[in-house]
Amino acid sequence: MGNKPFTGFTRISIMGKKSLTKKYIKMDEFSYTNIFDTKGIEYLIVIGFLILIIPFWRALNKPVKVKARYKEVLGVLTPEVLRIPQGLHYCKNHLWTHLKKSGNAHVGLNDLFLHITGEIELINFRNPGERVRKGDLIAKVSQGGKELRIPSPISGEITDVNFQLRKTPNILNEDPYGKGWIYIIKPHDWNNDTHNCVTSEKAREWSENELQRFKDFVAIALKKHSPESTMLVLQEGGELIKYPLAGMPAEVWKEFQECFLSH
């Protein structure tokens, strides 16, 4: 370069097929590296692997929900699939009730009952204005000619009835503690009527015990009334299929009424 000052540019001549062109390219300010000439492909594989593993990592941080979803998809009835919201009173006859600030109480069927029976139809509704005592018949569950009697969990005056359940009975199974409520009752003796109900964490423990009690009931009832159905209801390992009562004969429904709903 001699004594000439450095300008940062280098002159390059490029010979084309038809013409000679001259270009000036600035040096030391830009460099280009082809990552595929190095380990770029390996980097991309690692990045892709990390992207794929993220959903599984999130799933591992929610083990209970994932296990519940897994059981639900397989059609297995276990405690993990049960919905047991806090703040409700769960009655021993598998109804729930919740006292609102208005002083009125919502009443419905709990999720364990609905997981046992499957899709059902409610019939024989009572009407607004009627008075009921705890244990009185307030509706019947019907499925394929088989029925269960539903007793009231509390005493009081019926102020509203969810007649929407006649048109869309599937709401019962889809949203039992929300849109699937059956009655609104103005209670006469709330504290005494609900003192045997379970709440909070005790509700989950009670539901697990009830599910185990139902398993024992199924084993005995099917042996007596329908031995050939045992393998269809109880899977390998002793787990129940979802909606087990749906495939059982009317005799088993009658015994279920006495053992689980007549408290």
Q: Do 177 and 83 touch, CB atoms closer than 8 A?
A: yes
pLDDT values of the chain reduced to their tens digit, one per residue, 263 residues? 455 454 444 444 444 444 444 444 444 455 555 555 556 677 677 777 677 766 655 655 554 444 444 344 346 899 999 999 999 999 999 999 999 999 999 999 999 999 999 999 999 999 999 999 999 999 999 999 999 999 999 999 999 999 999 999 999 999 999 999 999 999 999 999 999 999 988 999 999 999 999 999 998 998 898 877 665 676 666 788 889 999 899 999 999 999 999 86
Distance between CA atoms of residues 197 and 21, nearest Å: 93
What are the DSSP calls for 225-263, one per residue?
Answer: H-GGGHHHHBPTTSPEESSGGGGS-HHHHHHHIIIII--
The identity of residue 66, as a single letter, is V
For the record, the structure tokens of 183 come out as 């009655």
pTM reported for the whole predicted model:
0.71
Query: Cβ(77)–Cβ(242) under 8 Å?
Result: yes
Structure-block tokens of residue 152: 């009231």
CATH fit for domain 77-261, picks 3.30.420.40, 2.40.50.100, 3.40.640.10, 3.40.50.1820: 2.40.50.100
Q: Where are the domains of the chain?
A: 40-74, 77-261
> What are 260's two structure tokens?
């689980």
CB 132 within 8 A of CB 150: no
Angle at 31 between CA 27 and CA 36, to 5 degrees: 155
